Amino acid sequence: MTKILLVEDDLALSMGVEYALNSAGFEVKAAKNIKEAKAKLDENSFDLILLDVMLPDGNGYDLCKSIREKGETPIIFLTACDEEANVVLGLDLGGDDYLTKPVRIRELISRINAVLRRKAKSINNDSMTNAIVSGDIKVEPLKCKVSKEGKEIIFTSVEYKLLLAFMQNGGQVLSRNTILEKLWDIDGEFIDDNTLSVYIKRLREKLEEDSKNPRYIITIRGLGYKWNEEVRGEF
């Protein structure tokens, strides 16, 4: 489910947008000021941010700039400031779109989906051309090649795609169902829950120094697994 952070100090508008987006299948968390927004960003990962410009403790432009210094989470400005200079400033600071109030929900949902599609396309293009490096592990997607400390490791097709799924979502907890959805029916192969456990075990045996005490593929009890991006290597 797509997670959205809504930063808006108008309580009535915030409640209306939150209700409409939740009804449309999104998961929305709301913040009424920059302080709350930063706290929620520290505690959660979001797929998109809806950001008002005029906030009680500052302005959305500064928050956008701060977010851009740390990552590329898509940002859509929601604001009554519709002058060209404001729009240009928002986009120049890293905003992905700019929507003026009053907000029309159908248009907002359409803009959200468009931004998410562009982001997904960009990620897919980058992942197919650029090497992915984490600790001592390096994946070269164009070559379907994986190496550890410079030595190539041979994987089956499903093992490779499972590894790619982990590394492309580094730091994020992936539930078993999410992983199965990514692997289900790849090249006509059906992956069930029991088989997934076997593949994760094999990945650990090939990647980890001690597969029983993994550093890369971490089990998050009751939730799933995540790729540990904090492992340091020689690359």
Domain CATH for 157: 1.10.10.10
Helices (H), 96-222: 105-129, 157-168, 176-183, 193-207
Q: How many domains does the chain have?
A: 2
pLDDT of residue 117: 82
Tell whether 75 and 102 lie within a shared domain.
yes
Do 225 and 219 touch, CB atoms closer than 8 A?
Answer: yes
Do 51 and 75 touch, CB atoms closer than 8 A?
Answer: yes
Residue 233 in any domain: the answer is no
Q: Determine the structural domain holding residue 44 and report its residue range.
A: 3-126
pLDDT of residue 128: 53
DSSP 49: E
137-159 residues labelled b (16+ CB within 10 A) or e (exposed): bbbebeeeebbbeeeebebeebb
Tell whether 171 and 72 lie within a shared domain.
no
Residue 73 in any domain: the answer is yes
pLDDT of residue 234: 46
Do 53 and 27 touch, CB atoms closer than 8 A?
Answer: no
Do 103 and 13 touch, CB atoms closer than 8 A?
Answer: yes
pLDDT of residue 233: 52
Residue 89 in any domain: the answer is yes
* pTM, full prediction: 0.54
pLDDT of residue 11: 94
Tell whether 8 and 116 lie within a shared domain.
yes
Q: Profile the chain (235 residues) by mean pLDDT over runs of 10 residues.
A: 93 94 94 95 92 93 90 88 79 86 90 84 58 87 86 87 88 87 57 80 92 93 89 53
pLDDT of residue 214: 93
pLDDT of residue 121: 64
Two tokens at 22?
A: 């939740």
pLDDT of residue 205: 93
Tell whether 189 and 111 lie within a shared domain.
no
How far the first Cα of the chain sits from its last, in Å, is 34
